[in-house]
């Protein structure tokens, strides 16, 4: 994009090379085996992208939403699963701590998270509360010298590997009485439930976090008690923009694969790229990917300029993953029977992208956010 800084362009180059060498060659195997590419994750710390939005004081890159989206796109082209785990660590955990924690908490937790020595996750959704996040039932009772934490978090990316969990819990009687806690696995603050086996994003570990009378020191609470609703909703904006960057990467990878396949596959004595129906599908894909990229980076740029808010993030999150799913389905069609098989990666890309229409807020929730704003509906 025309507004990318030299630093962002260099980041794009570094991430593209990393994805080509460390993610792409192993994506199929990790998807098949449902295993986590731990080696690549640790190396993300070495190249300095785990703390993409965190302060350099703690080893971070000190960059913004545009830079984080660039990482998502470049990694997403190669392995969307690894990229989702990256997002849960870099945006849901590190970015939250960077923006909301005390200086002492940042100094304690950020360096090891940014280096990749520790892996982070974030706990918001629960077995009975997904879209209705404020309905959460996980409770932290203030006992004076500690909080007593009980409940379960569900659909947690990186759960089984997490050293640190950034968790929201109810601490009062009102619906918005939510507080945040930084939990440590080594202190016995949480345990893991069953792993969740998914249709896509199979190389991104997903599971439950369980809290059973866990004693949490007051110094592990982030900010004031009952004051975390604003922080929780605010971080959703950058999450929804950046996670949509994975869809841009998936769509570009589908397009690249189709161009290659159409130039090699022959039917009726000529390459299928010579047929107008195939040409039309690929041309439309190219135009759609261009629209996706222009939209997401414009919104990311505006976010970095201080134009925050849920509506633009919701528009990105609604439009881009839906279009990427359409592109992935078209890519399968271009490949015919091979596209429906595991001989080519487009079926994996379609499976992976479907999560983008569900995680970080379903399409239906995005529609509600946008419509209520346009129609000035208040509750």
Phi, psi of 182 (to 5 degrees): -95, 115
- 8 Å CB contact between 193 and 151: no
Q: Quick one: DSSP state of residue 275?
A: S
Residue 205 — left, alpha, or beta (φ > 0 → left; ψ -120 to 50 → alpha)? Answer: beta
Query: Of 98, 239, 347, 357, which is the active-site residue?
Result: 239
Separation between Cα atoms, residue 204 and residue 206, nearest integer Å: 6
Entry field: residues in the chain: 379
Which tokens hold the place of 282? Answer: 């690929």
Phi, psi of 128 (to 5 degrees): -110, 0
Quick one: how far is CA 29 from the chain centroid? 21
Q: Which segments of the chain are extended strands (E)?
A: 120-123, 139-142, 147-157, 164-170, 178-184, 191-195, 206-216, 221-222, 266-267, 270-271
Contacts of 210 (CB under 8 A, 6+ apart): 152, 190, 191, 192, 193
Half-sphere exposure of 132 toward its Cβ, with a 13 Å CA cutoff? 7
Run of H or E including 231: helix 229-264
Return the SS3 of 239.
helix
Which tokens hold the place of 211? Answer: 């809290």
239 is catalytic: yes
Residue among 265, 374, 277 nearest 318 (CA): 374
- 8 Å CB contact between 44 and 86: yes
* Active-site residue set: 239
């Amino acid at each position: 994009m025309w507004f990318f800084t030299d630093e962002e362009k260099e980041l794009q180059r570094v991430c593209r090379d990393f994805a080509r060498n460390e993610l792409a060659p192993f994506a199929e195997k990790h998807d098949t085996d449902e295993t986590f590419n731990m080696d690549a994750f640790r190396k993300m710390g070495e190249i300095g992208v785990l703390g993409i939005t965190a302060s350099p004081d703690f080893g971070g890159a000190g960059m913004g939403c545009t830079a984080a989206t660039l990482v998502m796109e470049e990694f997403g082209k190669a392995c969307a699963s690894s990229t989702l785990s990256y997002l849960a660590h870099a945006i849901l955990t590190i970015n939250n701590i960077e923006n909301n924690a005390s200086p002492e908490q940042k100094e304690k937790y950020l360096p090891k998270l940014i280096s990749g020595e520790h892996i982070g996750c974030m706990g918001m959704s629960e077995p009975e509360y997904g879209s209705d996040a404020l309905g959460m039932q996980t409770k932290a009772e203030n006992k004076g010298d500690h909080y007593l934490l009980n409940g379960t978090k569900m659909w947690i990316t990186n759960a089984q590997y997490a050293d640190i969990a950034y968790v929201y819990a109810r601490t009062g009687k009102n619906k918005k009485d939510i507080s945040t806690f930084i939990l440590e696995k080594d202190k016995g603050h949480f345990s893991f439930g069953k792993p969740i086996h998914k249709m896509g994003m199979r190389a991104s570990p997903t599971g439950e976090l369980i809290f059973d009378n866990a004693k949490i020191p007051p110094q592990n609470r982030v900010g004031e008690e009952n004051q975390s609703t604003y922080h929780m909703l605010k971080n959703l904006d950058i999450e929804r923009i950046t996670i949509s960057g994975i869809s841009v990467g998936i769509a570009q990878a589908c397009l690249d694969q189709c161009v290659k396949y159409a130039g090699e596959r022959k039917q009726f004595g000529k390459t299928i790229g010579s047929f107008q129906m195939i040409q039309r599908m690929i041309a439309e894909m190219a135009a759609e990917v261009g629209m996706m990229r222009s939209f997401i980076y414009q919104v990311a740029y505006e976010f970095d300029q201080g134009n925050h808010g849920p509506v633009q993030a919701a528009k990105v999150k609604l439009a881009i993953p839906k279009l990427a799913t359409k592109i992935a389905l078209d890519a399968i069609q271009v490949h015919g029977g091979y596209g429906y098989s595991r001989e080519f990666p487009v079926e994996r890309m379609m499976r992976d992208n479907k999560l983008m229409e569900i995680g970080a807020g379903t399409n239906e929730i995005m529609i509600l956010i946008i419509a209520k704003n346009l129609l000035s509906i208040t509750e």
